[in-house]
């Protein structure tokens, strides 16, 4: 299956928006979603969501009265917040791609205390737990209806 | 023209696999046609860093989103619940949670007990040996002694309780409510050549470890060794009939779109609650102008989902998050009818683990919890790995207006008309959903959870597809008889979820497979005394 790609202007607007959605944080030691590596992943991962992303960015451009990325920072934030309320399903799809690339970045994963690796083959350990917690339930009479 | 087979099975999922394996000991020539592919363990998302992202791509649960070559589109219309499935060897068991409850004895007698819908023409006691056989074949983990069920002994010990399970268990005990480790089709020990679960995370997008009992790793290896032939990338367009009115085979398309006719002595349909009525309605002939096996007009009608009411909250301390099987505990506290609740029948409460970093972020954005800007990071950290979720899986009663028809416009890549869904929630279900949400909130309060909310009914939760070719003894009120044979076409059988009379309030795969084994035994018995097609 082939998907479209964003124009340079759309990509610039998206990067500016991604930086507002999830800015870098020195307090948490994490990059923003507009980080070069993460943003490259976002562009590559639009795939099924490309059409929605383009629709969302068209809406953003309309709200901006031109290129969103070229607005002054304060105005950009103002427009972004309005867009957040008005963007609907296309924006949700766009936001989803930003999140799915951001939250698999090694730096972000490590900052969350997560090992940046695939689940297989190492897997995870889940504590077995104490099944004596079930003792009150074990004492119950049969609950199912006899027929 | 292919060589004639004795038995042609259409669909290789939960029921098709079980019936193929069971019939193999007859030494008949058995062929199964499957529109999808084998999925290799190395194909599964948990092999890669992009495992969560692929839940929104080639392993999305919704076929319209996934849109593989092997999928067919579904017009969900205005239904508040969208159909989700998987097409491939093993069918939707490839992407099920492996939560594996049986129907309860009362589920087969809803008319007698509660005065609604119809009783089934079979009962729990009749199916009990098939449940046991199916548990053995599938490899079920669980704990003996659940007071919500007749006694049975799962072959393997239960999945671990974990931190999330402890939270739930303590909360349920505070309320004095039933909870129990679920029967799960997940190996907790070496089992029949399968490696034990290593807690890769959510089981839905397929198990790279092979611990999950999807039908491709349970029944199919045994069926193939016993001589059953499985032909993949064979998408069936229609079941054909001969001049005698009996089914004589099926027409299918291969991966290149080339049309084939496969002749057969008997045909078994195993495409589940959407695929089966779609196929039957597409099987139009002079003798069956409204679709094969449809003299009752009930093919496609009485569609039942299990509306899911998901309720969630967040505790202060980190719990299991995405580590471990998503579902390993259930509560049957509200399963049996109590008319004081304002509705009949009931629901299971499934007790969930959380999600990984990405799905957590997306879900919390959808819920409006996760802001943009500087605050994003702080808020994310108060939610991540702290979610407790409960789903009330509600019994859906049969209503004829809830149905599958053929879409007049939408077609799959071979030009076969696609299914269209018309479905609305009943008042009984709406009351049950509200009750399930309220009781789930009680559990969350007992667990000290905050930021409690609900998604009810969940949109992308049409996993359980039942009722669209119901079984019964009356040919005017049912599509197949009490052992799965079409009333109209005496060498045509249906073995999947579409034959269910009512839905119960549990995940259906265990009962679907037990029913398939029961029908296979009936076929074998009648073959032996030459009464199969009488």
pLDDT in tens, B2-45: 999 999 999 999 999 999 999 999 999 999 999 999 999 999 99
- Enumerate the residues of chain B whose CB falls inside 8 A of the CB of residue A133: 161, 166, 169-170, 173
Closest approach of chain A CAs to the CA of B74, in angstroms? 17
- Enumerate the residues of chain B whose CB falls inside 8 A of the CB of residue A126: 159-160, 162, 199, 320, 323-324
Mutant choice from A137, A140, A142, A146 vs B, greatest count of B C-beta within 10 A? A137
Q: How many CB atoms lie within 10 A of CB B426?
A: 16
- Enumerate the residues of chain A whose CB falls inside 8 A of the CB of residue B329: none
Beta pairing partners, B83: B462
**For residue B65, what are its two tokens?**
């989103």
Which of A96, A121, A128 lies nearest to residue B160, judging by beta carbons? A128
Asked if B180 lies within 8 A of A137 by C-beta distance, the reply is yes
Q: How far is residue B99's CA from residue B306's CA, in Å, rounded to a whole number? A: 14
Is B380 contained in some domain?
A: no
Asked if residue B30 lies in contact with residue B23, where contact means CB atoms within 8 angstroms, the answer is yes
Asked if A144 lies within 8 A of B105 by C-beta distance, the reply is yes
Three-state DSSP class for B186?
strand
pTM over 0.90: yes
Phi and psi (nearest 5°) for B297?
Answer: 75, 10
Asked if residue B95 lies in contact with residue B466, where contact means CB atoms within 8 angstroms, the answer is no
Average confidence (pLDDT) over A107-123: 97
Closest approach of chain B CAs to the CA of A66, in angstroms? 22
- Enumerate the residues of chain B whose CB falls inside 8 A of the CB of residue A89: none
Q: Which residue of chain A is at minimal alpha-carbon distance from B146?
A: A138
Q: Is B372 on the interface with A (CB under 8 A)?
A: yes
What pLDDT is stored for residue A1 in this prediction?
A: 64
ipTM over 0.90: yes
Is B188 contained in some domain?
A: yes
**For residue B368, what are its two tokens?**
């409006």
pLDDT one-digit tens code per residue, B108-142? 999 999 999 999 999 999 999 999 999 999 999 99
Domain that holds residue B133: 5-354+386-528
Q: How far is residue B534's CA from residue B526's CA, in Å, rounded to a whole number? A: 9
| B334-363 residues touching A, CB cutoff 8 A | 335-336, 357-358, 360-362
Q: How far is residue B219's CA from residue B8's CA, in Å, rounded to a whole number? A: 17
What pLDDT is stored for residue B201 in this prediction?
A: 87
Is A71 contained in some domain?
A: yes
Which of A95, A100, A109 lies nearest to residue B56, judging by beta carbons? A100
Is B438 contained in some domain?
A: yes
User: Closest Cα partner for B308 from B394, B231, B422, B190?
Assistant: B394
Position B170 confidence tier, pLDDT thresholds 50, 70, 90:
very high
Q: What is the mean pLDDT of chain B?
A: 97
Position B342 confidence tier, pLDDT thresholds 50, 70, 90:
very high
Which of B150, B357, B373 lies nearest to residue A23, judging by beta carbons? B373
Q: Which residue of chain B is at minimal alpha-carbon distance from A127?
A: B162
What pLDDT is stored for residue A3 in this prediction?
A: 79
Domain that holds residue A27: 8-115
Average confidence (pLDDT) over B344-359: 96
- Enumerate the residues of chain B whose CB falls inside 8 A of the CB of residue A145: 104-106, 113, 336
Asked if residue B429 lies in contact with residue B306, where contact means CB atoms within 8 angstroms, the answer is no
Q: Is B49 on the interface with A (CB under 8 A)?
A: yes
pLDDT one-digit tens code per residue, A87-114? 999 999 999 999 999 999 999 999 999 9
Asked if residue B35 lies in contact with residue B295, where contact means CB atoms within 8 angstroms, the answer is no
Asked if A118 lies within 8 A of B47 by C-beta distance, the reply is yes
CATH of the domain at B517: 3.50.50.60
Q: Is B73 on the interface with A (CB under 8 A)?
A: no
Phi-psi region of A25 (alpha: psi -120 to 50; beta: other; left: phi over 0): beta
What pLDDT is stored for residue B323 in this prediction?
A: 92
Beta pairing partners, B393: B308, B348
Contacts of A37 (CB under 8 A, 6+ apart): A31, A105
Average confidence (pLDDT) over B222-235: 98
**Number of domains present in the structure of chain A:** 1
Average confidence (pLDDT) over B173-198: 98
- Enumerate the residues of chain A whose CB falls inside 8 A of the CB of residue B123: 147
pLDDT one-digit tens code per residue, B468-521? 999 999 999 999 999 999 999 999 999 999 999 999 999 999 999 999 999 999
Tokens 């729990």, residue located:
B124
**Number of domains present in the structure of chain B:** 1
Residue B533 has pLDDT above 80, yes or no: yes
Three-state DSSP class for B313?
strand
Is B367 contained in some domain?
A: no
- Enumerate the residues of chain A whose CB falls inside 8 A of the CB of residue B198: 120-124
Asked if B198 lies within 8 A of A124 by C-beta distance, the reply is yes
Q: Is B199 on the interface with A (CB under 8 A)?
A: yes
CB pairs under 8 A between A and B: 176
Asked if B361 lies within 8 A of A103 by C-beta distance, the reply is yes
Mutant choice from A129, A135, A139 vs B, greatest count of B C-beta within 10 A? A129
Asked if A137 lies within 8 A of B381 by C-beta distance, the reply is no
């Amino acid at each position: 299956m082939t998907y479209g790609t964003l124009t340079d202007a759309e990509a610039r607007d998206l990067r500016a928006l991604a930086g507002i959605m999830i800015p870098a944080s020195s307090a948490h030691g994490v990059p923003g979603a507009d980080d070069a590596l993460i943003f490259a992943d976002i562009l590559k991962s639009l795939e099924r969501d490309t059409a929605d992303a383009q629709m969302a960015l068209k809406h953003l451009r309309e709200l901006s009265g031109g290129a969103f990325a070229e607005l002054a920072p304060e105005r950009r934030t103002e427009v972004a917040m309005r867009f957040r309320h008005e963007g609907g399903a296309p924006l949700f799809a766009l936001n989803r791609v930003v999140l799915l690339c951001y939250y698999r970045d090694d730096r972000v994963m490590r900052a969350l205390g997560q090992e940046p690796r695939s689940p297989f083959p190492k897997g995870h350990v889940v504590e077995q737990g104490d099944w004596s917690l079930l003792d009150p339930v074990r004492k119950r009479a049969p609950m199912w209806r006899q027929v | 023209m292919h060589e004639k087979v004795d038995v042609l099975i259409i669909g290789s999922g939960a029921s098709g696999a079980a019936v193929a394996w069971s019939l193999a000991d007859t030494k008949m020539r058995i062929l199964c046609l499957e529109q999808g592919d084998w999925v290799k363990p190395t194909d599964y998302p948990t092999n890669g860093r992009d495992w969560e992202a692929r839940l929104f791509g080639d392993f999305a649960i919704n076929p319209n989103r996934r849109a593989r070559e092997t999928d067919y589109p579904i017009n969900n219309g205005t239904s508040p619940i969208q159909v989700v499935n998987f097409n491939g060897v093993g069918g939707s068991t490839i992407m099920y949670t492996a939560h594996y409850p049986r129907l309860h004895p009362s589920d087969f007698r809803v008319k007698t007990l509660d005065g609604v819908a119809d009783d089934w023409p079979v009962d729990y006691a009749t199916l009990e040996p098939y449940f046991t056989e199916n548990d053995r074949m599938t490899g079920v983990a669980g704990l003996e002694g659940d007071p919500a069920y007749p006694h049975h002994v799962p072959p393997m010990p239960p999945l671990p309780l974990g931190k999330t399970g402890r939270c739930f268990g303590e909360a349920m005990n505070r309320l004095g409510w039933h909870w129990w480790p679920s029967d799960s089709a997940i190996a907790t020990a070496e089992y029949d050549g399968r490696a034990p679960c290593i807690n890769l995370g959510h089981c839905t997008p397929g198990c790279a470890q092979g611990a999950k009992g999807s039908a491709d790793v349970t029944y199919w290896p045994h069926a193939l060794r016993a001589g059953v032939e499985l032909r993949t990338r064979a998408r069936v367009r229609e079941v054909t009939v001969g001049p005698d009115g009996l089914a004589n085979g099926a027409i299918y398309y291969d991966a290149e779109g080339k049309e084939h006719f496969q002749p057969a002595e008997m045909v078994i349909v195993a495409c589940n609650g959407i695929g089966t009525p779609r196929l039957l309605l597409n099987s139009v002939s002079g003798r069956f102008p409204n679709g094969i096996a449809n003299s009752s007009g009930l093919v496609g009608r009485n569609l039942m989902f299990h509306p899911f009411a998901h309720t969630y909250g967040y505790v202060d301390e980190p719990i299991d998050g995405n580590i471990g099987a998503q579902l390993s505990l259930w509560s049957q506290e509200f399963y049996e009818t109590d008319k004081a609740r304002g509705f009949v029948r009931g629901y299971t409460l499934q007790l969930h683990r959380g999600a990984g970093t990405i799905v957590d972020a997306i879900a919390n954005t959808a819920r409006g919890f996760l802001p943009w800007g500087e605050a994003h990071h702080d808020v994310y950290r108060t939610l991540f790995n702290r979610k407790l979720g409960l789903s009330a899986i509600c019994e859906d009663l049969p209503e004829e207006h809830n149905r599958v028809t053929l879409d007049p416009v939408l077609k799959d890549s071979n030009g076969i008309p696609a299914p269209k869904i018309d479905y609305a929630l009943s008042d009984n279900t709406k009351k049950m959903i509200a009750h399930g949400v309220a009781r789930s909130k009680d559990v969350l309060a007992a667990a000290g959870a905050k930021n409690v909310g609900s998604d009810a009914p969940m949109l992308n939760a049409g996993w359980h597809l039942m009722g669209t070719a119901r079984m019964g003894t009356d040919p005017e009120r049912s599509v197949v008889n009490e052992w799965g044979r079409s009333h109209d076409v005496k060498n045509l059988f249906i073995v999947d979820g579409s034959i269910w009379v009512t839905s119960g309030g549990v995940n259906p795969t265990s009962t679907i497979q037990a029913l398939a084994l029961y029908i296979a035994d009936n076929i074998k018995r009648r073959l032996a005394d030459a009464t199969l097609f009488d």
